[in-house]
Amino acid sequence: MQDDISREDRLDWYRRMCLIRGFEEEIHNLNKAGLVQGTAHLYIGMEAIAVGACSAMNSADLLTSTHRGHGHCIARGLDTGRMMAEILGRVDGYCGGKGGSMHITDVSRGMLGADGIVGGGIPIAVGAALGVRLKGDLSVVLCFFGEGASNQGSFHESLNLAAVRRLAVVFICENNLWALSAPFAEVTAGGSVANRAGAYGIPGEKVDGNDVEAVFKAVNEAAKRARAGLGPSLLECVSYRWEGHSIFTRQEIRPAEEIQQWKQRDPINRYRARLIEAKTAASEVLGQIELQVSEQISKAIQFAKNSSLPDSETAFRNTYA
Ligand X SMILES: Cc1ncc(C[n+]2csc(CCOP(=O)(O)OP(=O)(O)O)c2C)c(N)n1
Would you give the binding string for other proteins spanning residues 239-278, x where CB under 8 A is met?
A: ------------x-x-------------------------
Among 39, 195, 288, 296, indicate the residue that binds other proteins (CB under 8 A).
Answer: 39
Residue 146 interacting with ligand X (CB under 6 A): yes
| Side-chain-facing half-sphere of 289: CA atoms under 13 Å | 20
Residue type, 87: I
Q: Which of residues 198-237 bind other proteins (CB under 8 A)?
A: none
* In contact, 129 and 168? CB cutoff 8 Å: yes
Residue 180 interacting with other proteins (CB under 8 A): yes
* In contact, 43 and 20? CB cutoff 8 Å: yes
* Nearer of residues 201 and 255 to a copy of itself, judged by Cβ: 201
Among 7, 29, 107, 117, indicate the residue that binds ligand X (CB under 6 A).
Answer: 117
Please state, as a whole number, how many other Cβ atoms lie within 10 Å of the Cβ of residue 148: 21
Q: Residue 265's closest CA among 45, 71, 25, 18?
A: 45
Residue 95 interacting with other proteins (CB under 8 A): yes
Residue length, the chain? 321
Query: How many chain residues interact with ligand X (CB under 6 A)?
Result: 15
Give the C-alpha separation, 84 to 93, whole Å: 7
Residue 137 interacting with a copy of itself (CB under 8 A): no
Q: Residue 167's closest CA among 127, 209, 224, 112?
A: 127
What pairs with residue 183 in β-bridges? 178
Residue 160 interacting with a copy of itself (CB under 8 A): yes
* Nearer of residues 89 and 120 to a copy of itself, judged by Cβ: 120
Q: Residue 259's closest CA among 24, 23, 45, 25?
A: 45
Residue 176 interacting with ligand X (CB under 6 A): yes
Residue 154 interacting with other proteins (CB under 8 A): yes
* Nearer of residues 193 and 226 to Mg ion, judged by Cβ: 193
Residue 96 interacting with other proteins (CB under 8 A): yes
Report helix, strand or coil for 62: strand
Q: CB 122 → a copy of itself: shortest distance, Å? A: 10
Q: CB 240 → Mg ion: shortest distance, Å? A: 9
Among 55, 158, 210, 239, indicate the residue that binds other proteins (CB under 8 A).
Answer: 158
